[in-house]
Structure 1
Amino acid sequence: MKVGLFGANGRMGRVLIDALDQNENTVLSVATVRDDSPWVGMNVGELAGIGKKDVNCSAISSLSENDADVMIDFTLPVTLESNLKWCVDTKTPVVIGTTGLSETQLGLLDAAAQHIPIVFAANYSVGVNLMLSLVRQAASVLGHSADIEITEAHHRFKQDAPSGTAMAIGEAIADELGRDLKTCAVYGREGKEPERDQGTIGFATVRAGDIVGEHTALFADIGERLEITHKASSRLTFAKGAVHAAQWLHGKTPGLYSMVDVLNLKLNVS
């Protein structure tokens, strides 16, 4: 199966090159960068540090209809609209891992999914998606009495906060408890405040060094607490999940899918 990459020179783009090279059932057919990028023409294997391969980075304007069976996009939110438009125009399925999307950009995903199959997830790790199931189970048992806090840590270069994964964890918990995360989330505490409202879900964010990704959901009651934690030590975990999603997506009907669909996870345990 031919898989193409948007943003091959990004941190995830380089790891995806490696993941596709390791997968026996996929071939990297095209790897795009900005038209004015100094990486245009560079060999993708040398870019990813895995030795010379058969594909060079190409300008995104040179991308053509038959270059890929599925595209993968882990670029920035600003490029989402143009990348989606190309996929819709060429009827090319796409796996999207871009986080920090606005409500308007999420609407673009919904609109595009009327025409092509799309997998969109905040995190492509199998462990994180299993964690979404576990936090639902914990929320159904403890959520009406425990205080709930979500902490996350990432590398210094990550721009959106809280992370998309932290927000997905919060959404899963809020949904299980019948709450609206938009109204019950607390994103920062400072100074003297009233006693904590048990109905809120707190978020704390760390940005430091080269932390790949750590997430903890804390359920703290009087006398006991439960912590559910996932720690990633390599971006290759996410890349392999995205490649798996691309293989799953090939041949699907138009629609907006998630890793819940890809992994056939049952998240509603109530």
Structure 2
Amino acid sequence: MPSFLPDFELPSDPSKVVRLREATVADAIDFSEVDPQCEEEATTLFFERLQAKEKYSDPKRWTTEDRRFALFMYHLHTTKFPDIPLTYVCDLCTAATGKQVQHTVSVKLADIAADYTPMTGKPVRDVVHEGHAVLVHPVYGADAELMEKARMDILEEEAATEKRARKKRSQLGMLRLLSSLDVPGLAPDASEEERRVKVEQFILDMGAEEFKEFRSKVLEAVADLRHGLKSTFQDGRVLLETPPVRCEKGRDKEGPGLRLQFHFRAFDYIPNV
């Protein structure tokens, strides 16, 4: 019988307690239907399947940071190894030798966990722009899946034509911004999802300088919403960041060190069949 792992709280909402069981071979067979490139879809399925019914909450309503933290906690309680090996290209050594130099470092799980930050206050920040009350919030799992689909569309377009791919990348950038905000005053009686078209038009009507100011306000609020493990968005994908690592040749003794970005995916913790 699969065993349950220790409970933990979601970083964005400590009132939500998550209880997971270990994945089984039967789970692995079911998960095999999901395209390995669809990380967010797999993450949703992973937590829908493995949560205890008495503690269940919708993983599509978890923030992307909640979802990565939950995967990290699953790995922490099921692995026998205290660290993760990561290989990267060292720019300092590459520049010094004139050829590409790779280093492999072992990043301790305990050091990654030490970067944990709880949510400060409620998971929303108020921003005022041109008289409009703008609500800024973290990206949730449902929108992470939408960005994932948009990124897949870009990859398909790049295979066909660069012109269409550039437009798709711009649309992905807009979706990333829309995923973090709402302007209730544009349609007070509608839901956030129903308002999204109006919010998008609200942004599209901005001039370049106004948009620069607006985006700066949103990004500042997003930074203040940091919670869970240190992570970042890159081309519509969520990446975890390591604590600073050092060049093994000692070429960066004076610098702040390098934070490596890496994927932390549900597929990595499903039993192989």
What range describes the TM-score normalised by the shorter chain of this pair?
under 0.3
Which structure has more helix as a fraction of its residues? Answer: 2
TM-score by length of 1: 0.23
Which has a greater percent of strand? Answer: 1
> Could you say which structure has the larger radius of gyration?
2
